[in-house]
Chains A and B, each alone.
Chain A
Amino acid sequence: MKKISSTELSNALGERIDFFVCSASFENRCLTVANALANRIQCTNSLIFYSSISDISISNRNQLKSLLGQSKTREEKISVSSPIDTTVSIARALYELVGTTGGHLLLDATTFTHEQLLIVIRFISHLQGILNTKIKLTITYSGAQQYGYNPKSTEELWLSRGVREIRPVIGFSGRFKTGQMTQLILLVGFENERARAVIEYVEPGALALGIGRKNDSISSELANTNQFFYEKLSTFIKNVSQAFSDVVKFDMSVVDSEITRKELLAVVKPETHNVIICPMNTKISTIGAALVALQDPRIQIMYVEPLEYNELGYSISGTDIRYGEINLFAN
């Protein structure tokens, strides 16, 4: 995947875009790619998924509709808490958009939840694999300049809180052998409270912590301004390593799904373990996890739904965008 400033995205993409899919969110990052391509995709069939009905989200959704052109833009509400409803909505909306005709689909992964993004990817693979629809899939991801801002004190920085539910992602339930030990692979991000919760929930026999390379940070500002989160993350990893007898740490890419896929393949042990991957870092690395699970259906992907998000202070948009074509059936 390549990194580019938002002003250059349109030229870089070059060829025609037949479909544009994105998610409206409380984060302003949901507008970055649409803004960058506004003039180009006014004639494109677009699909906006949304979950939140907060004022910020509604405002961002309206801006998206305006950027994408009202006449060719559809909206589809998707659930955060009901995977079955989410799946039905995503499948229906995407099928109506793309159907069996196919084309070049640009998917802005930035502000989907991890679970929603995985279900979208799963359905696109279904269209390609089962229905033989010819889709060229390009992913964009708009990085954050800073995560967590405007707190009263550094100690009060937070992105999400609490755990509502921990569940396998529908379509990525995997195939387990009863009695085999569980290998839990966490793609650890800044929200390590959720990471701790999933470790306690799954009680794995083997644990692997995937840590994003600091030099790979999505934007050049991010590494410095998020020292607080890196330090919390280091403490968390140290505590887990003390309590657990089988912990492996590995560096992973958070900016290139294909590299994430290869790095995960080097770590997973599906021959001897029931493997669960829980992605909690960038959506790019989540797509990497999806690629692994599509390649090896034994592998399960798990999602941790938080209780609440820091909607007012979640992130500040950066100026860089990552993009690249994704082959869902690469080996």
Chain B
Amino acid sequence: MSSAISTPFSVKTAESLTPAEVASQFVDHEAYRKLIPAGHTFIEGPRGSGKSMLFRYMSPATQSVVTKQDISKLPFIGIIVPVKQANVQMPEMKLLSGSAARLIAENLLVTMVAIQVCRAFDDVLNHVGSDDKLLIEWINVLYTHIQFHVSDAGYTPSATKVECEPAEKLKHCLFALANVERVTQDYLNSLVFCTELPNYGKRLLNYQFFLFPLFEALLAKNQNQNQTFYILVDDADWLREEQTRVLNTWVSFRTSNTVSFKAACQLDYKTFLTSGTRRIESPHDFSRVNLSTIYTQGSYEGWVKNVIEKRLSAFNISVSAEDFFVEDKKQKEKLLTIQREIQSTDWGGPSTDRKRDDAYRYARPELIRRLGGKSKQSSTFLYCGFNQLVDISNATIRFFLESASEMYALQQQKDSPNETHYISPSIQNSVVRNQATHMLQANFDEIVRDYAAGEDSKDLVQKVKQVKNLVDVIGSAFYASLISPTRSERRVLAFALQTEPSDELQEILRLAVSLNFFTVSSIGKKEGFGRTKRYVINRRIAPYYNLDPSGFSGYFWVTSELLLRASTDPAKGKDELRARLPTIMEGAQMTLSIDDLNTDTAFLEIQEVDDEKN
């Protein structure tokens, strides 16, 4: 039985969209402009930040639809290699070592790329048409090249008529390459329980004599001398180490005038070593694009707005994103009242000559404080409104879409049988708060295998608990700052390390980043020379601590010793924070004295610094 639910926000994988759907849903943004120039590139970004969609937009079929041009005129031909749609994680690969492992890995990778060249051309035939003369020539080149090399290597070629249609030729190419792929996988499968390494029996395909000459032959047919091939490797972090080294070897070649590799990763890329001893480096061998940091606040919000409105329009919902994800009217009125108060002489909190800036800076924190009651559990602040939801999504479009999908389903249940034209504030609030709670309480669900390799799982469980403690203390500190009526910068969402972290703390912080509780960046040290790290909390968990996720924020300077203690004794950490906060506000010079609360010393030194854009 099928239970597909229709929603404008369903997270359909990019691979399942047609070129026309990609063209209609895609919204241009800065990352795309950074990928267009030739050259090897690594794109880093969390799951759901739009990497696959970016690649789909760069495919020749989509580019032809968008530009309404033949492929001969396209500046680049983007061949997507979706690593997750290939069998790259076969554990049997570990039964090989040395040159056998490398050769088999390369054979599989070149076959994958060649298959995707065929699929890309087939996509153009199916969705754009078969009148393109260059495409027909390219299919002929592909067909001749593949049939020759596959049969020369000892595989059974596909039996074909001498003359057949381009689509038929592509089918034969795919058949021949699928045969190579099948033989290689069957060989690997046969290694299990073997006592001796069996003979492979055929020649292996490689980049130097099979794949690169193919690209050269294709480009030779095009009079557009500026055109190159881009190999778009999606989920490159899924590759095993040996396969990664093969890819790095290809990146190390100076081939950008023929082919450039653009590799997208979510998690840590396994290695930057090549199959030899060399290491590829940025910017010498490749450039980097980080989707988490590339967005300025305004550009990400504008992009999400365009994406959402396109999706709403496709569902015949003709409202703006702001009118679909409505704010709460009463809450908005309260906010306006507080803003007027801040700009008047009645305001008793910190103020500057710029009253409008003060109103922006303090109004929402003050609203949250007034709605908070004595305990943060009793807060009635509603997280709603398009802008708030954008902020909470933490610059990851998929988080926005997943939340929106859940909100839509809940709203539909209420509105049914009528159509849904907006999401109520209470539903928006309920979903983001539940997701924040789930994210915090589901630490153990995250995939931590890269950090668990070689470790005893008990140590890892202990570290995860320490991460939870740390996040809780930091979240509580941020809330305490937010509701403090006399602090000049109440909205704090980050901390920076004042002292060098120990190995233990480094591991905890690294794990906290890998579990997506923080993003990390480098800033200048407080003393003015050298660099240190700053950790910004994931705005998705802001609702759990009743924080204000919007706009710019300040950050605390924190000693590493404090953080380490907070990670093992969070209750004490929170108590000390509450006790020290009045002193902290005064900006008094602090020293560490965790155990003695009677002294004038305190353990946090707060420097209120306007954050650069996240």
The interface of chain A, by Cβ under 8 A from chain B, is: 81, 83-84, 87, 91, 122-123, 126, 130, 161-171, 173-182, 193-194, 196-197, 200-205, 239, 241-250, 274, 297, 300, 307-308
Contacts and interface: CB of A to CB of B under 8 A. Distances in A.
Nearest to A174: B87
A39 B111 CA distance: 58
A207 B87 CA distance: 18
A198 B489 CA distance: 42
A120 B115 CA distance: 35
Nearest to B464: A162
B352 interface: no
A120 to B, nearest CB: 12
Contacts of A178: 81-82, 85-86, 111-112, 115-116, 181
- Between A164, A169, A242, A300, the greatest number of chain B beta carbons within 10 A of the residue's beta carbon is seen for A242
B92 interface: yes
Contact of B181 (A122, A169, A177, A194): A177
Given A166-B447, A171-B189, A178-B112, 5 more contacts: A87-B192, A169-B91, A178-B82, A178-B86, A205-B16
A194 B446 CA distance: 9
A193 B193 contact: no
B163 to A, nearest CB: 27
B457 A165 contact: no
Contacts of B176: none
Contacts of B185: 173-176
Contact of B444 (A180, A201, A274, A307): A307
Given A162-B445, A163-B449, A181 B16 contact: yes
Contact of B85 (A87, A176, A308): A176
Interface string B1-31: 1111101001111011000000000000000
Given A243-B402, A244-B11, A248-B2, A182 B192 contact: no
A266 to B, nearest CB: 12
Nearest to A201: B447
B448 interface: yes
A91 B95 CA distance: 15
B94 interface: yes
Contact of B47 (A193, A200, A239): A200
B358 interface: no
Interface in B93-130: 94-95, 111-112, 115-116, 119
Contacts of B464: 162, 307
Contacts of A123: 193
A201 B15 CA distance: 16
Nearest to B6: A245
B452 interface: yes
B411 to A, nearest CB: 12
Contacts of A91: 193
B82 A245 contact: no
B442 interface: yes
- Between B5, B193, B452, the greatest number of chain A beta carbons within 10 A of the residue's beta carbon is seen for B193
A122 B7 CA distance: 43
21 contacts: A81-B457, A161-B444, A162-B445, A163-B446, A164-B452, A171-B192, A175-B185, A178-B85, A178-B86, A193-B445, A197-B447, A200-B47, A202-B84, A203-B13, A203-B84, A245-B16, A246-B16, A247-B3, A249-B1, A307-B457, A307-B461
A246 B17 CA distance: 13
Nearest to A206: B16
A179 B82 contact: yes
Closest 7 CB pairs of A and B: A162-B444, A176-B87, A165-B449, A161-B444, A245-B10, A173-B90, A178-B86
Interface of B: 1-5, 7, 10-13, 15-16, 47, 81-82, 84-87, 89-92, 94-95, 111-112, 115-116, 119, 178, 181-182, 185-186, 188-189, 192-193, 402, 405-406, 409, 442-449, 452, 457-458, 460-461, 464
Contact of B91 (A84, A126, A205): A84
Nearest to A251: B1
Contacts of B115: 177-179
Contacts of A179: 82, 85-86, 115-116, 119
B193 A197 contact: no
Contacts of B116: 178-179
A125 B19 CA distance: 45
Contacts of A182: 84-85
Contacts of A126: 192-193
B89 A167 contact: yes
Contacts of A200: 47, 447
Given A122-B192, A182-B85, A247 B4 contact: yes
A116 to B, nearest CB: 14
A113 B112 CA distance: 33
* B interface: dominant SS: helix
Contacts of B5: 241-242, 245
B92 A173 contact: yes
A166 B2 CA distance: 27
Contacts of A174: 87, 185
A135 B93 CA distance: 30
Contacts of B91: 83-84, 167-170, 173
Given A205-B15, A243-B11, A173 B87 contact: yes
A173 B108 CA distance: 15
A202 B82 CA distance: 12
Given A176-B86, A308-B461, A84 B445 contact: no
Nearest to A297: B189
A104 B105 CA distance: 41
Contact of A164 (B4, B181, B448): B448
A173 B443 CA distance: 29
A163 B445 contact: yes
A3 B13 CA distance: 43
A181 B85 contact: yes
A307 B460 contact: yes
Nearest to B443: A162
A283 B192 CA distance: 22
A197 B15 CA distance: 20
B84 A162 contact: no
A230 to B, nearest CB: 17
A182 B13 CA distance: 11
Contacts of B89: 167-168
B87 A175 contact: yes
Contact of B3 (A169, A201, A241, A300): A241
Contacts of A180: 85
A164 B450 CA distance: 9
Nearest to B80: A179
B7 A162 contact: no
A196 B444 CA distance: 12
Contacts of A243: 10-11, 402, 405-406
A244 B409 CA distance: 12
A242 B413 CA distance: 12
A175 B12 CA distance: 25
A163 B16 contact: no
B181 A242 contact: no
A176 B91 CA distance: 14
Contacts of A161: 444, 461
B406 A242 contact: yes
A84 B89 CA distance: 14
Contact of B92 (A170, A239, A248, A297): A170
A302 to B, nearest CB: 9
Contacts of B16: 181, 205, 245-246
A8 B351 CA distance: 83
- Between A123, A171, A245, A248, the greatest number of chain B beta carbons within 10 A of the residue's beta carbon is seen for A245
B79 to A, nearest CB: 11
Nearest to B82: A179
Nearest to B402: A243
Given A179-B115, A247-B3, A308-B457, A165 B452 contact: yes
A193 B406 contact: no
